[in-house]
Amino acid sequence: MILVGLGSCLWSPEPLRDPVALGDAPPLVEVAAPREFRGVWVATVANINFPTRPGLSPAALTAELDRIVDASADAGFNAIVFQVRPEGDALYDSEMEPWSRFLTGRQGGDPGMDPLAYLVSAAHARNVEVHAWFNPYRAKSSASAAAVAPHITVSDPDLVRTYGNLVWMDPGSERVRKRTLDVVLDVAKRYDVDGIHFDDYFYPYPDASGRDFPDTKTWDVYVGGGGMLERADWRRSNVNALVSAVGDGLASTRSWVRFGISPFGIYRPGFPDGVTGFDQYARLYADPLTWLEHGWVDYVAPQLYWPTSAARQPYNPLLTWWAERSSGGRHVFAGNFLAALGTKPHWTVDEFRLQLEGTRVAQKMGATGNIFYHIGPILTNQAGVADV
């Protein structure tokens, strides 16, 4: 099993926030290995992992979810990070946002079952956690896709911006932040999820033309109200406001539900020395160090989507750098690019063994697990990866 070598017990640290009183607890016992988070992403956007195609029957949907749970548990994973809001929609029963088009082929179409509810029940039966994965700002992954109420492009079209082939909620809008916060807390309150998860999409990645994100409307409101920040700092403050609101909201309502974010794998070029690449701080306006330092998140899972042999994006030094920045009970999990298996000569099963070993080496510095993108190679046992 792919992660058995990382220890035999579930990653289940004490709550990072005030725990709910549960009476006298049994005495602690020693375990054979430190507890580690072993997660796998299940992507629903564009039917990457689930469902395999739109329009499946309820029975077929439940069968696919059973297969995901069984494959995850059998391969040694203890957490499934399940995408529930790929584009301002829902893979669960919601009054706030419409059913995802990736379920039936038509946004708003009722699939006849609740994927998140079923997954939580099935996964918990096998001692596997479920973390609900939200895209906080993406409204459409294709600008031409049809939308129905209560999708934000129908209910509040003034809050979204077209950017390239995407439609994006404007992070500078307080109403956008409140909507995303309300959606997240709705899931945390109604479903027995173990975590809430964001990925790396905050302000969108630059489009092919490299043009700036069209947020002049909200920027002008900010400046007109006496705002003094530079535009880039203002954008980061908008992202920080959402992250802190979600962290605080969960702490006050569901303190046992962990909140994690999987940012781009490089904080900034030059961190650590010699690293080059995309600058998320300056382009996505994401500042993961601030999130960790303020305790707004319980973990970050930087997407270290490079092999250990990469010269300018060196896997192990990057993991060590991130791990050293975990503090105050916060955690760092490596995000691993399992979907690359077999796509190039260096993406082998042995490469992922090396990356897992890197987590063990960096464990004392704060690296306490891994999340693999995505479950596809596990489901097919590509190159025997699920048997390692």
Strand 258-261 and strand 299-300: pairing? parallel
What Cα–Cα distance (Å) separates residue 50 from each residue in 55, 95, 342, 376, 388? 12, 22, 21, 10, 24
pLDDT value, residue 88 = 99
Residue type, 210: G
DSSP-derived secondary structure for 98-110: PBPHHHHSSTT--
In which element (H, E) is residue 217 found? helix 216-224
**Is residue 325's pLDDT more than 80?**
yes
How many C-beta neighbours within 10 Å does residue 30 have? 4
Does the model's pTM come out above 0.95?
no
pLDDT value, residue 13 = 33
**Is residue 29's pLDDT more than 80?**
no
**Is residue 9's pLDDT more than 70?**
no
CB half-sphere exposure, 219, CA atoms < 13 A: 13
Contacts of 287 (CB under 8 A, 6+ apart): 236, 239, 240, 281
As a whole number, mean pLDDT of residues 69-76 equals: 98
pLDDT value, residue 33 = 41
pLDDT value, residue 215 = 98
As a whole number, mean pLDDT of residues 145-163 equals: 98
Distance separating alpha carbons of residues 312 and 306, to the nearest angstrom: 10
Grade residue 34 by pLDDT with cuts at 50, 70 and 90.
low
What are 163-212's pLDDT values in tens digits? 999 999 999 999 999 999 999 999 999 999 999 999 999 999 999 898 99
DSSP-derived secondary structure for 169-206: E-TT-HHHHHHHHHHHHHHHHHS--SEEEE-S-SSPPP
**Domains in the chain: ranges and CATH:** 4-13+41-138+174-387 (3.20.20.80)
What are 126-142's pLDDT values in tens digits? 999 999 999 999 999 99
Contact status, residue 340 vs residue 303, Cβ threshold 8 Å: no
